Structure 1
Amino acid sequence: MSIATFDSVVEFTQHLLQSDASTVTLIVCSTREAFIEELYADIQAQSIVVPREQSSSPAEEVQEESEHAENYRGENNEEEREEDEEEDSHEEERENNHWMLSNTLELLSRSERIRVVFCPAIEHLRAYLGGSFRRRRAQDGQEGNKLCQGDAMLAIVNLVSLHSSTVEFSAQGLSRTAALAVEAAAREQVRLVLCECKSTLDGEDGRGYGSGIWDVQVPLLNSISVEEGLPGVKTIQVKQVIRKWFRFD
């Protein structure tokens, strides 16, 4: 049972695709639409800005200028066209050659090993871990893949963040969900990996997102909120709660 450190959803997904796990069940603690939107935003953030190439060479421009010098009207038109081309040449366009956008046989083969499950609420996540989760078996075509002969994996994205906006954001609530995840992994004999990814869509706001959530202080019980400022409320670091079951890489 381990904690993976990837602030980006794209980086963690790419890590799973390139892993040697025979099969992967990826539990995303959000809706399908939100996950796809986050993937798109992450990939766009990693795109490369490149200058747009000029449509004509300097030699061609000189030749065009000499040909239109005899005609005053044509010369004016040519100058206007050249000004437009010069403006276009300074424009920039975004070029994205991200690995996950490539339609290679390797990527297609690796993606077949992954099953994605969406659990947008704590109740959905606990219900799935408690009874619905079953280890995914390798398909016939995947058994001969020498690159993917490792143990099957259960990966959960943003398990802790799912609790952050609820009264379950406490040692009691986190312990209950973490225990269910560990029990499910032990029952199906799979590797269990957690990862807290920072949302690109949140911008600078997002105190409880990404790897920084491990340092957040939470109350011991569900019925108490740290924001209430009640005197004498005992708190504990999220990392200390999760460390009872997981190893931080």
Structure 2
Amino acid sequence: MESNKRPLAVRGSLLAFLTHFLSVQRPPSSLIICSTEEGFLEGLTGPSASASLGVLQALLCPTLEHIHTHEQVHVAFCPSVQSLKAYLSVFEACSKPNPEHESGQRRPILAVINLISVHEGTSSDSAQGLSRACAMAVEAAIRTGLELMFFETAEIPRRYDGWERQVGILSSTTRSFRSGERAWVGRTVPVKAMLGRWCRFVELEESLF
């Protein structure tokens, strides 16, 4: 896959990402949010949110433009690994991308928010488990003709870096191993090494395109 065609792995402020997403997407775009709706709203408005009040007001202000934009974006909440995989396995865009409607840099996007975080602490929290979920997202994007973004919230201040977190090679649910797999038991890799198979990495402050 050409580097400029690879999915983006983006990290930064949730509010800043959503603002950027809404400014560049066009129908039929989708947001898959790996949390409950309550958890998502808390992340936007809670004390840990790093964005300014002005950004929050700009995103949530019920202007006609924002209402029109939000109506064109399909949003799904997947608060568990199981619900995320189930949703990705049957995901279909609400309509087909129409090349005739292209304008500037706007394009149909499938954005998956906090895929890494939803795996943490589960039996799928491994390079094997994360890779399976990423592969399903890639397949869903290809199947529907959408551009794929993975977004992971960056804690501010960055006391913790989810991309550098070490995970086991194999999932803890693996009960039997093929020839040669036993050598990987107990070994770990950073999440970023696994994501690098699929994505190119950007910070939200960088130019994304």
Runs of 4+ in 1 over 4 A off after TM superposition: 42-45, 143-149
Q: Percent identity?
A: 35
Cα distance between partner residues in 1 of 2:126 and 2:56: 42
Cα distance between partner residues in 1 of 2:166 and 2:12: 20
Out of 125, 130, 145, the position equivalent to 2:84 is: 125
Within 5 Å, which residues of 2 pair with 1:49-198? Answer: 98-131=57-90, 133-137=91-95, 150-198=106-154
Summarize the Cα distance change of 1:176–1:101 in structure 2 as closer, same or farther, 3 Å threshold. Answer: closer
1:83-102: CA deviations, max 9, x gaps?
Answer: xxxxxxxxxxxxx8731133
Runs (5+) with no aligned partner, structure 1: 49-95, 225-231
- How much does 1:127 deviate? 0.6
Identify the structure with the greater helix proportion: 1
- How much does 1:149 deviate? 7.7
Out of 190, 193, 200, the position equivalent to 1:240 is: 193
- Superposition RMSD in Å: 3.1
Cα distance between partner residues in 2 of 1:154 and 1:246: 14
2:15 is matched with 10
1:28 is matched with 33
Out of 42, 53, 58, the position equivalent to 1:47 is: 53
SS at match of 2:79: coil
Runs (5+) with no aligned partner, structure 2: 1-5, 174-184, 203-209
Q: TM-score, normalised by structure 1?
A: 0.64
- How much does 1:134 deviate? 0.6
Summarize the Cα distance change of 1:43–1:245 in structure 2 as closer, same or farther, 3 Å threshold. Answer: closer
Cα distance between partner residues in 1 of 2:56 and 2:187: 49
1:217 is matched with 166
- How much does 1:105 deviate? 2.4
Larger radius of gyration: 1
1:227 is matched with none
Alignment coverage as a number of residue pairs:
185
- How much does 1:39 deviate? 1.5
1:167-188: CA deviations, max 9, x gaps?
Answer: 2111111111111111111111
User: 2:34 is matched by which residue type in structure 1?
Assistant: C
